[in-house]
Amino acid sequence: MSSPDTGADAHDDHVVKLLVTGPFNAGKTTLIGSISQTPVVDTDVATTGDEAATKQRTTVAMDFGTYSVTDDEGRVELLMFGTPGQARFAFMTDVMKGDVDAVISVVDGSDDASHQLAGQAMRSLLADLHTPLVVAVNRCDDPDEAHRIARRLGALSNEAVVPCQLIHGESARDVVVAALIAALERLERPDSWRTPLQRVIDALRRTEAVAA
């Protein structure tokens, strides 16, 4: 997590960065779109080849969305960067992975064929980052099945797993809250950084409660 250099008020402004990654058609863009308060910046183009039968458009560079909390204590901005799912655009992950507070690995629980490569990419990324991980098993309602899938991907027993239906906003918020909690638990910053993270968590939970 970083704090912009804005002079005397720098301690009041905080930036939290989440990296949303996973294979083609897993639900990354949907997750970011469900949370972002600003229009998602995307780089979608028409899908080509065999994958066009599954999804008409795909991300080739990144998705970007924001969520902010501003109150008497200052401003906290959550930045969400989504990586492209197709292998030939994987280099963009290296461009975006710096200085992230947590990684959300989105996988389609109904698409077994995507799991092996998704697991390889996930563990390779985490080996570089040493960053908290949340595995979001999309299109899955069964926690036990979600955990089985996450273990097959190579997720460790202490890494959070969230079964989800990312077409629903409340499910997307559950995933992001889990990622922020993971970042909070692994926080290596001074204790003063805990409050900004908790403010974003509380705001997302309030939004979910109102929606319910």
CATH number at residue 74: 3.40.50.300
What residue numbers bound the domain in which 39 lies? 16-207
DSSP 24: T
Decide: helix, strand or coil at residue 70. Answer: strand
The rounded distance, in Å, linking the Cα atoms of 132 and 180 is 9
Q: Is 169 domain-assigned?
A: yes
Residue at 6 is within a domain: no
In a domain, 3, yes or no: no
Q: Which of 107, 159, 154 is nearest to 133 (CA)?
A: 159
pTM of the prediction? 0.81
Of 184, 209, 201, 210, nearest in space to 67 by CA: 201
Average pLDDT of the chain to the nearest whole number:
82
Q: CA 134, 36, 196, 81 torsion: positive or negative?
A: positive
Nearest CA among 125, 111, 191 for reference residue 154: 125
Examine residue 109 and state whether it is found in any structural domain, yes or no. yes
The answer to whether residue 160 is domain-embedded is: yes
Segment 140-196, tens digit of pLDDT: 999 999 999 999 999 999 999 999 999 999 999 999 999 999 999 988 767 778 899
- Kindly state whether residue 11 falls inside one of the protein's structural domains: no
Residue 68 lies in a domain: yes
Neighbours of 185 (CB within 10 A): 11
Using pLDDT thresholds of 50, 70 and 90, give the confidence band for residue 53.
very low
Number of domains present in the structure of the chain: 1
Cα distance between the two ends of the chain: 30
At 42 the pLDDT is 61
